[in-house]
Amino acid sequence: MWRYILKRIGFIVIALFFVSLITFILIKSAPGNYIETERLITQNLTDVNVPPDVKEAWEKMYHLDKPEWQQFLIFLGNAVKFQFGPSFKYPTKTVENIIVETYPVSLTLAGLAMLLAIVIGIPLGILSAFYKDTLIDRIAIFLSMIGTSIPNYVMAVFLIYILALTLHLVPSIGWGQPVNYVLPVLSLAIGPIGSITRFMRSSLIETLNQEYIKVARAKGGGFIQVVIQHGVRNSLIPLMTVIGPQLAYLSVGTLFVENLFNIPGLGKFYSSAAVYRDYPMVMGTTLFFAGIVMFVNLLVDIVYGLLDPRIRKLDMNRS
């Protein structure tokens, strides 16, 4: 078990190294340079010549005066300590400060969405498996299909239109009150709800066909006893395989919803950093997001292994 975890962590470190190398190379080969384009955009100047002393001081602050391989090493050395230096756009703030300030917002969105998806998805899946091939089942399947295929930012549009503009249940814009969380969280949750429902349904149908369920039924077990205690319990562990990727996706996927609803989360800052070519911010956040996605995947695999001893023996010894 420990060997497996260490091996996976080693793989994550290698992958993160590649992420930083790729982003670094990409950024260095990108045309244009921040200080000149910024001057063009913000001051409406036609002349891109920044005074040499300003440019020199600026380059010194971001270590841009050193050779590129040295810049990369400096970046790597600092990244290990979770330091990414000051941002281009907000020179008084460091990238790690921005991440620490804004990521909780994204995390709350993703966490609430996942929670909602589990709370709605599991019962819906059970219902649909129990009433297999009836109208309830068909509707549930159709809805989950729509939920899984339509991207969350398009879902958000429909939710705003129905819940805010037609039914006037929640405000469509604004941020700060708890009620403002309703629309973003709902639009993020619909995809995972669909996946969980579909998985729960098919897994439960398979479990309910097992011999021991028939035995439990023959012994006179009721709905709760048979379906919930024997059936659902055995379907919950493999459900981790669905929740894991969804969680990893959500931790980056809030980006669109944050942009659409103008929520000051890390996704919003990340995308505007990419638009403005705020390279320290882009590099730091890309690495952070990549780390989160891979760490969540690892966590899910470990939990899965802890819950199901068969997997622990099989998978972990092999790899």
Report the C-alpha gap between 94 and 114 in whole angstroms: 30
Q: With respect to other proteins, which residue has the nearer C-beta, 70 or 272?
A: 272
What is the closest distance, in whole angstroms, from the C-beta atom of residue 145 to other proteins in the complex? 7
Report the C-alpha gap between 285 and 113 in whole angstroms: 22
Q: With respect to other proteins, which residue has the nearer C-beta, 97 or 259?
A: 259
Q: With respect to other proteins, which residue has the nearer C-beta, 126 or 294?
A: 294
Q: With respect to other proteins, which residue has the nearer C-beta, 231 or 280?
A: 280
Beta-carbon-side half-sphere exposure of residue 224 (alpha carbons within 13 Å): 0
What is the closest distance, in whole angstroms, from the C-beta atom of residue 57 to other proteins in the complex? 26
Instruction: Provide the 10 A C-beta neighbour count for residue 286.
Output: 19
Q: With respect to other proteins, which residue has the nearer C-beta, 23 or 203?
A: 23
Assigned token pair, 48:
């891109």
What is the closest distance, in whole angstroms, from the C-beta atom of residue 301 to other proteins in the complex? 12
Q: With respect to other proteins, which residue has the nearer C-beta, 203 or 285?
A: 285
Q: With respect to other proteins, which residue has the nearer C-beta, 29 or 92?
A: 29
| Cβ atoms of 181 and 109 closer than 8 Å | yes
What is the closest distance, in whole angstroms, from the C-beta atom of residue 260 to other proteins in the complex? 6
Exposure string of 108-141, with b = 16+ CB inside 10 Å and e = fewer, is bbbebbbebbbebbbebbbbbbbeeeeeebeebe
Among residues 252, 232, 234, 255, the alpha carbon closest in space to that of 293 is found at: 252
The footprint of other proteins (CB under 8 A) covers 11-12, 14-15, 18-19, 22-23, 26-27, 29-31, 145-146, 149-151, 153-154, 157-158, 160-161, 165, 172-173, 252, 255-256, 259-260, 271-272, 274-275, 277, 282, 286, 289-290, 293-294, 297
What is the closest distance, in whole angstroms, from the C-beta atom of residue 181 to other proteins in the complex? 18
The set of long-range contacts for 203-206, using a CB threshold of 8 Å and a minimum separation of 24, is: 203/125, 203/235, 203/238, 203/239, 204/125, 204/126, 204/129, 204/130, 204/231, 204/232, 204/235, 205/129, 205/132
Assigned token pair, 131:
């009433």
The set of long-range contacts for 301-305, using a CB threshold of 8 Å and a minimum separation of 24, is: 301/8, 301/244, 302/5, 303/240, 304/237, 304/240, 304/241, 304/244, 305/1, 305/4
What is the closest distance, in whole angstroms, from the C-beta atom of residue 25 to other proteins in the complex? 9
Q: With respect to other proteins, which residue has the nearer C-beta, 261 or 304?
A: 261
